[in-house]
Chain A
Amino acid sequence: MNFDDTPQEAAFRAQVRAWIDANAPKELEAELKQATFGNSGLTSGDPIALAKAWQKKKADAGWACLHWPPEYGGRGATPIERVIWGQEEGVYGSLGGLFIIGHGMCGPTLMAWASEEQKRKLLPPLASGEEVWCQLFSEPAGGSDLAGLRTRAERANDGTGDWIIRGQKIWTSGAQNSDYGILITRTDPDVPKHKGLTMFWLSMKSPGVEIRPIKQANGQSGFNEVFFTDVRIPDAQRLGAVGQGWTVSLTTLMNERLSIGSGMPTGFPELFDYCLNLQTEDGPAVDNPMVRSRLAQYAVKASGLKYTGMRAISALSKGETPGPENSIGKLVAGASMQELAMFALDLQGETGVINDPRHAQAAQKFQAMLLRSPATRVEGGTDEILRNIIAERVLGLPGDIRVDKDVPFKDIPTSGRG
């Protein structure tokens, strides 16, 4: 048990710190600190261009996706080195939001399933941020029930072996900014649902791909509908065997939980800071016993998550594979941020309702958290699905009764009413 750096880790940290100090876009620091949950806070330039510029600079110096092998755009860093990088990158790390899905999910999926030639071609520009990727999984018919998807892939009948895609995805984060996507489709509706799926990657510029932003409940438009009208994909862009799409998707989803779950913001540091400074009739809010009790409850969740993440990294360093226990990160962070935001607004009394940048400078963060946090409890596996995963795969409880499990996909009922 040693929470301090070893000499090698300290040397690595010094190297990282020196490079960041010399190269980080310091002119953005103040703006980035004003970021609210779900919004980069950047106003002095195009957020996408700024994000790409920082990512490219990191990549040129070997600091992009540093835990990836060098031949795919990384530097073969250890899990602990990656943590150190994250700690030192600090506020500039929030510039990387655009790449989370590409680096956290698409990259690892390609690494596991693409051909060597494709990996050498696709991964370096993905790492450097020159090419942005999205994840085309969820559909109107189901997000939790991913295997119930309906987007069809059929062989072109022109002998090319190409696939023709027809259907629709939904909730695709960042599709409007993406160059490529990984796409899960149904290739065989005559077998039970998990067995008839196949995974591909494709260019988002392919003819027949249409992207329509969706206005979110918090007013922003991070996610999209994506329509496929006779989109042609060469067979070489298939990931895994025909019918093996479900297994391939598990690679993505496992990595999704690792990358979304570890180091998730809980909002606690912001709330603590706010309570130190908020003046009430009886002095700073932090002096109030009721406030302290609530703060303490959030504090132990935040630190428990942090050290649970670190324990997972220690396990990873010893060569253990990250397992379903990583589901805990998002489950705790999402719910706790939502409650914490409500508490912060409550402390503001009736002004808690004000979300006006001219009058609510410091507090606006919590209004943004309040409005964004419901999404955290849904995206990448809902709270309920995560609890199922923990119950079944960590604790060994029975799976839910699945009435559609052995039924050919085409015979599964599609509406709950009549």
Chain B
Amino acid sequence: MNFDFSDEQKQLRDEARKFLADRCSPATVRVILEGPEPYDRALWKGLGEMGFLGAAIPEAYGGVGLGHLELCVIAEELGRANAPVPMASSIYLAAEALMLWGTEAQKTAWLPRLASGAAVGTLALGEGVGRVTERTIKAQMAGGKLSGVKMPVADGDVADVAVVAAREATGVSLYLVDLAGPGVSRETLETIDPTRSQARIIFDGAPAERLGEAGQGWRLASDLLDRAAVLMAFEQVGGSDRALEMARDYALERMAFGRQIGSFQAIKHMLADMYVAATLARSNAYYGAWALSTDSPELPVAAATARVSATQAYQHCAKNNIQVHGGMGFTWAFDCHLFYRRANALALALGSQTTWEDLLIERMRRRNDAPAAA
């Protein structure tokens, strides 16, 4: 038993942190927040060159062939830096789906480009307000052509390829759609976190190829979301830690009533509670990382655990970071709101907190009913 990353993995983390300190300062995040660009293309390219995008993609498909533990380490750093890039959509979801279920031709066509950052992928699952379930998937597949409206699709405005859930006679399946092809129109949506874009995509007879087993689309999508949830939890853990650090630094610097505000117990205890939430989330994320990297039967429970805990921690740390900063925390100029926006956007990406809470308990219950492993 060893509940820690290896020295090599920690070295990779230091490398990623250094790279992002150089290339993804809060000022560069603000360029995306305030400008017309949907994501930081230069940073994205750099992440590809560093091998960070392809960390878990096999070398045969243009990746670095490390593994998911390494990808977790990188995800945490991207979360810390609030990186404005389509990592989750392209790597945790699209590349992951292709690696799991892609045919040789599909993998060869897309994985090398996703690994280098030359192409962006995404998952188009939900179609409107509320929890996404199998029944809410209305998009139709007929004669190799896909039609329907997907919203929101993370990074859907910039993606080159999408994994799309749609219905055919056999039930829901996943399909791969080249978004540059015919029958695709899209619009960018305004969101609470402009550093990560969202789109509405209208498919109107778009050519599509099936990805994975027919009629198993919902099960596959759930498996995919579990894997992404672990990686996302690391982004959230990274963000939590950074928000806590910002609050701590400000508490040491800001004076009121002739003393550092960090000497008031109300502030100290608020920070202690942020630390507690972030620490529990980190430990749960490690459990998820292990389950993901070993394809453990524990993964459904571990992923939901990591996810629920990380969402809680990041929202808690991000909102109290603003509180510690007082009026400054509510200015556009201070970075607190970047983390507040991101925390609340990530809390919804891949499904809301109540959805994951529900999944967690359902899965624990199923595990409980299953006959004990031999």
Contacts and interface: CB of A to CB of B under 8 A. Distances in A.
Interface of A: 1-6, 9, 80, 83, 272, 276, 286, 289, 292-293, 295-297, 299-301, 303-308, 310-311, 313-315, 317-318, 325, 328, 331-332, 384, 386-388, 390-392, 394-401
Given A299-B364, A304-B309, A392-B268, A83 B279 contact: no
Question: Which A-B residue pairs are the 9 nearest by beta carbons?
Answer: A304-B280, A296-B357, A391-B268, A307-B283, A387-B272, A300-B309, A390-B272, A398-B263, A292-B361
B293 interface: yes
B120 to A, nearest CB: 29
B4 A315 contact: yes
A303 B271 contact: no
Contacts of B289: 1
B343 interface: no
Nearest to A313: B3
Contacts of A295: 357, 361
A311 B286 contact: yes
Contacts of A332: 276, 280
Contacts of B267: 397
Interface string B266-288: 01110111011001110110110
Interface string B336-374: 000000000000000000101110111011001000000
Which of B1, B273, B291 is most buried by chain A, counting CB atoms within 10 A of its CB? B1
B263 A9 contact: no
Nearest to A318: B4
B265 A300 contact: no
Given A4-B1, A292-B358, A308 B268 contact: no
A306 B305 CA distance: 12
A62 to B, nearest CB: 22
B305 A308 contact: no
A322 to B, nearest CB: 14
Given A300-B308, A310-B3, A400-B263, A391 B284 contact: no
Contacts of A392: 268
B2 A397 contact: no
Interface string B1-23: 11111100000000000000000
| Interface SS, B side | helix
Interface in B228-278: 244, 248, 251-252, 259-260, 262-263, 265, 267-269, 271-273, 275-276
B70 to A, nearest CB: 11
A386 B272 CA distance: 9
A286 B1 contact: no
Given A300-B305, A387-B273, A395 B4 contact: no
B276 A388 contact: no
A396 B252 CA distance: 9
B361 A331 contact: no
B123 to A, nearest CB: 24
B44 interface: no
Contacts of B360: 292, 296, 299-300
A397 B271 contact: yes
Contacts of B244: 395
B92 interface: no
B358 to A, nearest CB: 5
B312 interface: yes
B314 interface: no
B268 A387 contact: yes
B85 interface: no
Interface string B33-57: 0000000000000000000000000
Interface of B: 1-6, 69, 244, 248, 251-252, 259-260, 262-263, 265, 267-269, 271-273, 275-276, 279-281, 283-284, 286-287, 289-291, 293-294, 304-305, 308-309, 312, 354, 356-358, 360-362, 364-365, 368
Given A286-B365, A313-B1, A328-B275, 9 more contacts: A2-B2, A3-B1, A300-B284, A303-B283, A304-B283, A308-B283, A317-B2, A397-B248, A401-B263
A410 B275 CA distance: 38
B271 A395 contact: yes
Contacts of B293: 1
23 contacts: A1-B69, A292-B358, A293-B354, A296-B356, A300-B305, A301-B280, A303-B284, A303-B305, A304-B283, A304-B309, A308-B280, A310-B283, A315-B4, A317-B2, A325-B279, A328-B275, A384-B269, A390-B272, A391-B269, A396-B248, A397-B262, A397-B271, A398-B252
A390 B69 contact: no
A1 B276 contact: no
Contacts of B362: 292
A398 B262 contact: yes
B271 A304 contact: no
A397 B4 CA distance: 27
Contacts of B276: 328, 331-332, 390
Nearest to B72: A1
Given A303-B305, A305-B280, A390-B272, A384 B265 contact: yes
Contacts of B1: 2-6, 9, 80, 83, 310, 313-314
B252 to A, nearest CB: 7
A80 B1 CA distance: 7
Given A300-B284, A307-B286, A276 B4 contact: no
A299 B284 CA distance: 11
Contact of B275 (A292, A384, A394): A394
Residue among B293, B357, B361 facing the most chain A CB atoms (10 A cut-off): B361
Nearest to B369: A276
A390 B4 contact: no
Interface-central residue, B265, B272, B281, B305, by most chain A CB under 10 Å? B272
